[in-house]
Amino acid sequence: MDFAQNLSNAIILACIYILMAAGLTMVYGVLKVLHIAHASVYTIGAFAGVVIYTWVGNFWISILIAMVISGVIGVLIYRFSYFYLLDAPRTVPLIASIGLFVMVTDLLQKPFLMGPYQRAFPVKGAGLPRIETPWFSMTSKQVLILLVTIMLITLVYLLLTKTRTGLSWQAASLDREMAAAVGINLNRVIALNFFIGSALAGAAGVLVGIYNNSVFATMGDLPSYKAFIIIVLGGMGSLPGVILASLLLAIVENFLVASIGYVLPRDSIAFLVLIFMLMFRPHGLLGRE
């Protein structure tokens, strides 16, 4: 009973991690930039979602619009910062990214945007049923998260592996210059990459907001950093790696917390995992080289 329930909770947590980290790993794949401002996009997505939900009252419309807004913001971030820094040493875009993250988080806390408080995001489950089995149960919110994640990740996976755009994305992530030399429009590929990755982060923000029934300006702090651990675990730039690593981290977190309680703060587990990985398998679980 406990085991199955813990596993089911862990899978829901992993869904959030996957959505959050997928965009990061795509950006890293092409640009080799640690895109810390991705967490700002996540928070903006959640904020947009809750605002639109209070207007229209429909979950599907609000998550869709929130994703489009997040995607556009992601593209703007690329166009007005990283675009100019692609040939600079890697720490330069990294520092710019940190600056953006801190700036957006601070601005969001101002009264004319979100203010320093939490907002409720009262979606009950968008009409989805609750799942009850003898071994575990899933609330309708959890079913919603699982469903949305599977849908989005399947879409992105098909896009990346089955379409021309996806192939040019893969080419660009292998070798940017070579890809440009064979006639791939790099700017379009990268912009699209940012759009999709940021839209996924926006979706993650909306789902987390609904799951915890709260949206606040600093909600991106921990996910930003955990998503990085996941892409390191998953071997930078690989989507299957991200899925495996998200599941692994979520399971370890859930089971350790369930068995040893709060002796160690939950979030430090991720940190220890990161240090361990950096020391012994710096190219990730599935990484080569």
Partner 1 sequence: MSAGYALTILTFIAIYISLALSLNILTGFAGQVSLGHAAFLGIGAYTSAIMATRYGYSFAVDFLSAIIITGIVGIFLGLPSLRVRHDFLVLATMGINFVVISVFKYVDFFGGAMGLVNIPAPTLFGLSFRGGLPYFILTSFYALVTLAICWYISKTWSGLAFHTIRNDEDAAASVGVSSARYKIYAFGISAAIAGGAGSLYAHFLGSVFPDTFAFVESIAILSMVIFGGVGTLRGPIIGAIILRLAPELLRFIQDYRFTLYGGLLVLMMLFQPMGLLGDGSWLWQRLSLLSRSTKNNITEGG
Contact status: 91 vs partner 1 (CB under 8 A)? yes
Subset of 18-37 contacting partner 1 (CB under 8 A): 34
Which residue's structure tokens are 């401002």?
37
16, 20, 67, 104: residue in contact with partner 1 (rule CB under 8 A): 104
- CA distance linking residue 40 with residue 102, whole number of Å: 8
Q: How far is the CB of 2 from partner 1 (least distance, A)?
A: 24
Distances (CA, A) of 275 to 12, 103, 268, 280: 25, 28, 11, 9
Cβ burial of 91 (10 Å; 0-12, 13-18, 19+) is exposed
136, 157, 225, 255: residue in contact with partner 1 (rule CB under 8 A): 225
Which residue's structure tokens are 């990061």?
24
Subset of 192-221 contacting partner 1 (CB under 8 A): 221
Which amino acid, residue 182? V
Structure tokens at 37: 């401002």
Stretch near partner 1 under the rule CB under 8 A, chosen from 154-162, 174-182, 244-252, 266-274? 266-274
Stretch near partner 1 under the rule CB under 8 A, chosen from 51-59, 106-114, 175-183, 194-202? 106-114
94, 126, 180, 258: residue in contact with partner 1 (rule CB under 8 A): 94
Contact status: 86 vs partner 1 (CB under 8 A)? no
- CA distance linking residue 113 with residue 124, whole number of Å: 25
Residue from 17, 238, 250 nearest 145 by CA: 17
Contact status: 275 vs partner 1 (CB under 8 A)? yes
55, 84, 117, 135: residue in contact with partner 1 (rule CB under 8 A): 84
Nearer to partner 1, 49 or 74 (CB): 74
- CA distance linking residue 227 with residue 2, whole number of Å: 27
185 neighbors 171 (Cβ within 8 angstroms): no
Contacting residues toward partner 1, per CB under 8 A = 34, 81, 84-85, 88, 90-96, 98-107, 110, 221-222, 225, 228-229, 232, 262, 265, 267-268, 270-271, 274-275, 278-280, 282
